[in-house]
Amino acid sequence: MSDFSITVLGCSGSYSASSSEPCSGYLVRAGATSIWMDCGNGSFANLQRHIDVRDLDAVIVTHSHPDHCVDLYGLHVLATYGLQCCDIPVFAAAEVEAKMRPLVSDWHGTFAWHTVGDGAQETINDVDIVFSATDHPVPTVAASLRFDGKHAVYTADTGPLWSPEVFGNAPDFLLSEASYTHDDRRSPIHISGYQAGELARSAQAQRLVLTHLWPTIDPLACRAEAIDGFGGDVVVARTGDRYDI
Ligand SMILES: [Zn+2]
């Protein structure tokens, strides 16, 4: 078992699926470091299945769409009124804090907010992180995470005008959104399975996992076209799955 891994806490695209899949959330573990990456609705419940939230080192929120940020509210409530934790580092795209603030009226110092934009670099213990602005209608950042010589990239939400190539060397692991199948693209602010495969091929990714599928999309069809675009095997994320980087 690797000490650099990503566990899926939720992966439903845009809204919660009837199969009880929560929206986007991932637990990144790197040695003794634990990072909650995206806080989609339902993901906080699953986070608590995997770690004691007092062991959380930081939170990353890629953008202000509710299916990626709204469960930060749950952590705020537990940390403030249950655990008396404060100053939990939150690395969030622009507009996240402002979007969430009306829900809480006062953060009570629970979080130490850091706004991250295109090219921002942060270090969380031994994890080096670089952010890149994606092709999405609100400020959105993809994340490149490097630990112990391994490189993982999470696309967050993006349209087709962004590529993980901006992060330089080929990722060992690419977690890419794939909201639609290619012939059923409902919005240019997301990409299809085929386009996710193309992104992985152009970035020379070693492995590709698809996430954020619109709930009614056929995952097998999305995977098949991603394999065509990538030229290698592809996995579709499922809640509870853990990927060793
Ligand atoms: Zn979005």
- Tell me how far the alpha carbon of residue 148 lies from the centroid of ligand 1, in angstroms: 30
**Domains parsed from the chain with CATH numbers:** 4-244 (3.60.15.10)
Per-block mean pLDDT, blocks of 10 residues, the chain (245 long)? 92 88 97 98 98 97 98 97 94 97 92 98 98 98 98 98 95 98 94 98 98 96 98 97 98
- Tell me how far the alpha carbon of residue 84 lies from the centroid of ligand 1, in angstroms: 31
Nearest in space to 226 (alpha carbons), one of 160, 163, 180: 180
- Tell me how far the alpha carbon of residue 136 lies from the centroid of ligand 1, in angstroms: 7
β pairing state of 141-147 and 127-133: antiparallel
- Tell me how far the alpha carbon of residue 139 lies from the centroid of ligand 1, in angstroms: 9
- Tell me how far the alpha carbon of residue 35 lies from the centroid of ligand 1, in angstroms: 20
- Tell me how far the alpha carbon of residue 132 lies from the centroid of ligand 1, in angstroms: 15
Count CA atoms within 13 Å of residue 213 on its CB side.
Answer: 25
CB 6 within 8 A of CB 175: yes
- Tell me how far the alpha carbon of residue 119 lies from the centroid of ligand 1, in angstroms: 19
* Residue with token string 């940390």: 79
pLDDT at 124: 98
Q: What is the pTM of this model?
A: 0.97
- Tell me how far the alpha carbon of residue 2 lies from the centroid of ligand 1, in angstroms: 30
Angle formed by the axes of helices 193-202 and 219-230, nearest 10°: 30
Q: What is the DSSP string of 126-178?
A: TEEEEEEE-SSSS--EEEEEEETTEEEEE--S--TT--GGGG-SPPSEEEEE-
CB 153 within 8 A of CB 164: yes
Nearest in space to 132 (alpha carbons), one of 147, 122, 142, 121: 142
- Tell me how far the alpha carbon of residue 192 lies from the centroid of ligand 1, in angstroms: 14
pLDDT at 85: 87
pLDDT at 11: 97
pLDDT at 23: 98
- Tell me how far the alpha carbon of residue 33 lies from the centroid of ligand 1, in angstroms: 26
- Tell me how far the alpha carbon of residue 83 lies from the centroid of ligand 1, in angstroms: 31
Which residues are in the CB-under-5-Å shell of ion ligand 1? 65, 157
